[in-house]
A and B are shown apart, each in its own frame.
Chain A
Amino acid sequence: MDIAGVVLLIPLAGILAAVYLVAVMGRRPK
């Protein structure tokens, strides 16, 4: 893996966490 590949992983961390948080918010009982 080169540096560009490693740098691309950084936004992935936040995006995956955000997707998880949005998903759990969507599953809250109405």
Chain B
Amino acid sequence: MDAEALVNDYLGRLDAAATSLPPSRRAELAGEVRQHIEMALAEAGARDEVTVRNVLDRLGPPDEIVDAERQVDDPPPGWTLAPVQASAAARSPWGAVEIAAVLLLTVGAVFLPIIGPLLGLVFVWMSTQWTNRQKTIATGIVVLILFLPIILLLGLSAGGAATSGQL
């Protein structure tokens, strides 16, 4: 069974289990669960059968999700955010930490050379909105481009010292 068929099968079982919910809430729940699955797959960085099965296992059986939905404030295992919070977070992933990270990496890099981007990276690693892979790539970009001019500067000052020593 391929990944998409697994997701559809899971959503089908969820829909069947949710017959006792009001139709509007039933459709909303299906949308939220699909969104949660898509986000988990995007964070995992793969859509193969094993990854999809792991994500669905973490979500728990559809019956449990529906039971928890009836008890509103009691989320099932693996459901890290309450549905309302999850959809709000999906609408705007930009929190204070993410905004501070981007500001320090851009404006901070101009006004606080070296310290600004490094502080920005601290905020990047504090954020839960980026995956570890994305954080590593961003850190790699900063380190590579930051160390290149530092090495060049050291080379220039060493060259300057050598030149003045000759005079």
Collect the chain A residues with CB atoms within 8 Å of residue B153's CB: 3, 6
Of all chain B residues, the one with the shortest Cβ separation from A1 is: B152
- What would 20 A/B residue contacts be, using CB atoms closer than 8 Å? A3-B153, A12-B145, A13-B142, A13-B145, A13-B146, A14-B108, A14-B116, A17-B120, A17-B121, A17-B124, A18-B101, A18-B102, A20-B138, A20-B141, A21-B101, A21-B138, A22-B102, A25-B93, A28-B39, A29-B35
Band of interface residues on B: 35 or more
B residues adjacent to A (C-beta < 8 A): 35, 38-39, 42, 90, 93-94, 98, 101-102, 104-106, 108-110, 113-114, 116-117, 120-121, 124, 129-130, 134, 137-139, 141-146, 148-149, 152-153, 156
Choice from B39, B114, B141 contacting A16 with Cβ under 8 Å:
B141
Whether the Cβ atoms of B98 and A25 lie closer than 8 Å is yes
